[in-house]
Amino acid sequence: MSNRWDNNHDYHSFSNVDEVAVRHLALTLDVDFSAKLLSGIAELSLEFIDDTCRELWLDLRELSILKVEDDNGQPLNYQIDREDPVLGQRLNISLQSATGKVRVHYLTSPEAQGLQWLSPEQTSGKKLPFLFSQSQPINARSWIPLQDTPKARITFEAEVTVPVGMRAVMSALNDADAGLNGRFSFAMEKPMPTHLLAIAVGELGFGKIGARTGVYAEPELLDAAVKEFEDTEQMVEIAESLLGPYPWGRYDMIVLPPSFPFGGMENPRLAFITPTLIAGDKSLVSTVAHELAHSWTGNLVSNATWRDLWLNEGFTTYFTNRIVEAVFGKEQAELEVVIEYARLKEELATTEVEQQDLPANVQRQDPNDAFNRFTYDKASMFVHDLEKRLGRQAFDKFLYRYVQHFAFKAITTEAFVAYARQTLLVEHKDKISEAELLEWIYGYGMPPYFTPPQSDSLDKVDEALSLWLKGAAAESLVTQEWRVHHWQYFLNSLPEVLSQTQLMELDECFKLTESTNAEIACDWFRIAIRNHYDPVLPALTKYLIRIGRGKFVRPLFSELQVAGYHTEIKQIYGKARQGYHPSIVVQLDKSLHYRP
């Protein structure tokens, strides 16, 4: 464990949150689709931790500051520092006294990394444009001037003006019956991290799922979304039985256009969801369970810095599996853990050993780099190991107490270790030692005593794969009862090198290139690219233009790059780029050495 860094400091924020903290945001926004910008006023209510402090430092990225005032409307002097390519800029406001409020008048940029503006042609309905945000990890600063750090929990209210006939929704209390008169009001009375600030505007309908659950979507997708996610209310009840009452009132979702860069985003009261989850058979709804689980592990108990992301994602990935087991059964839960470990193994083989611990070593890097298989899947394996050692009943008690102890707080890795020393390592010292706990968290790779997850349900897949590799015809394999997870396991277990004849046989028999399941299609495309199976290129091109989810597009472009498809990359990315979210464009431009 290195002493090189101050682990309590957020290296991805310029804010002086330890001296003066923003506690409440009153936001006024005017949404201008023609100019692709927001015109805003951010009124920040302050709490002075240091009464002598006379400066307020906020995070910005590509915002135009028009004026800054105190709570009496008097102008305040301010200065904007030189831009950092990753972090943006610091807005340094000179305070004349320990003023209670500061108002910042500003405009966003059409290129704001936290906002995506879609033309009507890029939506399902093709009639109205669409806007949505993605603030995590540090893109809230591109559409609101604030202390953009998970250490700074805020409550907020907002008044949003949009074109008449469109609906605005936010990560707050939404009124599904609100008239489309162009004005919407929102309130979030519970303190939340700034990376969970979210907005979407478009042609949106609402479908009720349960007493406190529902889904917003473009009208063309609404019925399919309600059907696919109909188990959400039951998921909430299961989650409550494990970690206590749902803390945010309602759990609604919004299905965004395909350019949304993630599977889901856990914005409280309004989880953002990719349409690639609507498979028609509920096979991918564990992502819904994941975003729901974040309501406790991530939104209620948060990472203090992006180094500590594993506390969010590891516990949430584990907790997701418990919800899936309760709603869809033990077989599916086991399959998902095995697939999870397969993803981790792939990253273990390609990542420098020094990067294979749980805390993300991103203090001087882009915090997007923290979102890897170690902060998700290795961390989840650690939590599964704790459950295995303690037994489910004792572990559930520990997990419940941990969440309640740190509710509405942001914590570091070291705060978790300190808590474990006082509780886990005292009450269960016969089950886990401090050395073993620290090995999991700070050690590289997997601990020597780790046992990989298994599922008897995969025996039939291993048998089928073995028969095929020994020469059996693909059409003779018994695959009728396979779930998506069986297919993923089958594809990921294939040899690295396959002949064109083998690939053609699999494709003709199982119609893999034509798969409408985004997960299966991605896994198949990666295999095809690796082996230069060019018949997939037209379908791959359509896939990469239609879908902007980072989980799919990043590895597919990476495979194309490694396989030497440089001309194809230029053609495909040139067409697809305009439909991708700005945050994904920044990452792909860099990795593909693309210059527009």
- Catalytic residue set: 291, 376
Instruction: Give residue 332's identity as a one-letter amino acid code.
Output: Q
Between CA 356 and CA 347 the distance in angstroms is 9
Helix (H, G, I), strand (E, B) or coil at 375: helix
Three-point CA angle 42, 43, 45, nearest 5°: 135
Between CA 592 and CA 30 the distance in angstroms is 35
Tokens of 311: 């506390």
The closest alpha carbon to 195, from 114, 111, 264, belongs to 114
Helix (H, G, I), strand (E, B) or coil at 308: helix
Helix (H, G, I), strand (E, B) or coil at 257: coil
Between CA 46 and CA 95 the distance in angstroms is 11
Environment class of 185 (CB within 10 Å of its CB; exposed 0-12, middle 13-18, buried 19+): middle
Q: 474 Cβ partners below 8 Å, 6+ apart?
A: 468, 505, 506, 508, 509, 510
Three-state SS for 146-176 is: ECCCCCCCEEEEEEEECCCCCEEEECCCCCC
Helix, strand, coil content of the chain in percent (nearest 5): 40, 20, 40
Query: Length of the chain in residues, anyone?
Result: 596
Environment class of 215 (CB within 10 Å of its CB; exposed 0-12, middle 13-18, buried 19+): buried
- Map tokens 């790059």 to a residue: 561
CB 134 within 8 A of CB 261: yes
Environment class of 28 (CB within 10 Å of its CB; exposed 0-12, middle 13-18, buried 19+): middle
452 backbone dihedrals φ, ψ, rounded to 5°: -60, 145
Q: Which residues face 57 on adjacent strands?
A: 92
- Burial per residue of 87-121, b for 16 or more beta-carbon CB atoms within 10 angstroms, e otherwise: bbbbbbbebeeebeebbbbbbbbeebbbbbbbeee
The closest alpha carbon to 269, from 242, 300, 243, belongs to 300
Rg (CA), the chain: 24
- Secondary structure (DSSP) of 555-576: HHHHHHHHHT-HHHHHHHHHHH
Q: What is the DSSP letter of 179?
A: -
Helix (H, G, I), strand (E, B) or coil at 182: coil
Q: 350 Cβ partners below 8 Å, 6+ apart?
A: none
Q: What is the DSSP letter of 82?
A: P
Distance of CA 559 to the CA centre of its chain: 23
Tokens of 49: 């931790």
Between CA 256 and CA 274 the distance in angstroms is 6
Between CA 154 and CA 105 the distance in angstroms is 19
